[in-house]
Chain A
């Protein structure tokens, strides 16, 4: 225990609680609400369902030629303002680049190099942070645990194998 004081329940805590990211006091507040409030349980079910849906979405990949266009823009803008760094068709790309802080237009060659460097750095950050890595998957672990129980119950004792599915909490129940 951390010795913290009691925390009031709020729906904002549900997601953190499902992730096991609550403090002891926050977890206690959530669990008390779930035990006593049908609305809280319904909200939890909604949050759980929404998370499963989001996690089940396919991972978007950048369209063909996306990175070539980024490089081309960076190279072209080596002689202009780095704040012009945009993707030709961001909507089709399905991604958004991080905003680049404008660098004042300077004539000195070293300034151009700095601007180009900053733009490339921003593009790298965008690639790492904003664009999901291709070929990566996130198993919906909670849903898979439930799926195992459902399958097991067909060849095992039904009541004991289905029991974990009916718990009112999330994955870390």
Chain B
């Protein structure tokens, strides 16, 4: 065998070995990351904690922030205080107000959520200390641009999510929710509070899971080839709510029959061109909001996705409904029985 051929064979074998070793390592990283994220999402069922969470969001180049007390006791999470308080246990949510507790949500999540590793490159590393706690950080990177878009810092000892940071397409933070103070985390569990029992006595006005939406609404199963429909609901005021997720980011689509009454929208926000019509966009503590009308239906999107990504979702949603041939085509999408894709 000639030396040149031997050299080429050697390089080829080395490359094959490198790929063989690297691919499982990458897959193992993703598996580890998914496990860390999954553990964090169920941590409030396992762990008691209390502290202060700070919400930060970018508006017009400036940061806004608010702090909220939070606690988890015996599987019940309490957020806020006084007449601005929210409580959750299992899939039930209650909201305190001046007239007492009201049911805010009582529907279980029955549909499969796509794995976060399906559309994101996930990695795990030692994270920064958050509120004095040692963390593991999971970073989700866009595989097309190699730009990190989300960081979740998880308490190394208990698995509780301590900070979630959303990054824009340049990898810069635009929104974050995280503990700034931890008073208690882990340790012996306490007896849960009794407020949910009181809440059950109030008239429920929580949205209801529906198998089909009223005529005129569309509910594509997938949007932009990545966001999967995981729930269709009807609110007490007749508004339809669709919930989509790609495993890391959730998007709610609210649909109302009729064109948008611009004068009734909250002041502020900014103009945003969505498909053929003008939309309005807001950045608030609860996320990015897009409002626009299309074909006689007014749609409101809410998500913690950055604005450009949510606009892409909006355009894809409109295109998906148009491409489906209007209502007839989409009827097949929402006249479904139980569905459990993953």
Contact = CB atoms under 8 A, between A and B. Distances in A.
B259 A45 contact: no
Contacts of B86: 162, 165-166
B261 A157 contact: no
Nearest to B83: A45
A34 to B, nearest CB: 10
Contacts of A156: 41, 250
Range, interface on chain A: 35 or more
Contact of B207 (A141, A147, A163, A173): A147
Interface string B76-119: 01011111111010010101011100001101110001000000
Contact of B79 (A38, A166, A168): A166
Given A154-B108, A157-B40, A159-B72, A165 B286 contact: yes
A155 B77 contact: no
B146 interface: no
A160 B53 contact: yes
Given A19-B266, A142-B266, A166-B68, A150 B53 contact: no
A139 B83 contact: no
A59 B284 CA distance: 27
Contacts of B257: 135, 137
A146 B102 CA distance: 13
B237 interface: yes
Which of B41, B44, B97, B286 has the largest number of chain A CB atoms within 10 A?
B286
A44 to B, nearest CB: 9
Interface of A: 18-21, 38, 41-42, 45-46, 49, 55-56, 59, 132-133, 135-142, 144-160, 162-169, 171-173
Nearest to A55: B264
A13 to B, nearest CB: 14
Given A137-B260, A171-B266, A151 B41 contact: no
Contacts, number: 196
- Nearest 3 A/B pairs, CB to CB: A166-B80, A138-B264, A148-B302
B12 to A, nearest CB: 46
Nearest to B260: A137
A17 B266 CA distance: 11
B18 interface: no
Nearest to B206: A150
Interface string B279-314: 000101111010100001010101100000000000
A164 B260 contact: no
B70 interface: yes
A150 B285 CA distance: 14
B296 A157 contact: no
Given A146-B286, A154-B107, A45 B84 contact: yes
B312 to A, nearest CB: 18
Given A148-B302, A150-B105, A155 B245 contact: yes
A167 B254 contact: no
Interface in B264-288: 264-268, 282, 284-287
A141 B44 contact: no
Nearest to B108: A154
A149 B70 CA distance: 15
Contact of A165 (B95, B206, B230, B261): B95
Interface in B37-84: 40-41, 43-44, 49, 53, 55, 66, 68, 70, 72, 77, 79-84
A163 B68 contact: yes
A145 B98 contact: no
A155 to B, nearest CB: 5
Given A20-B267, A155-B245, 10 more contacts: A42-B83, A46-B98, A49-B98, A59-B258, A141-B300, A145-B287, A147-B302, A157-B161, A162-B77, A164-B286
B235 interface: yes
A159 B252 contact: no
Contacts of A138: 260-261, 263-265
Contacts of B80: 163, 165-168
Nearest to B161: A157
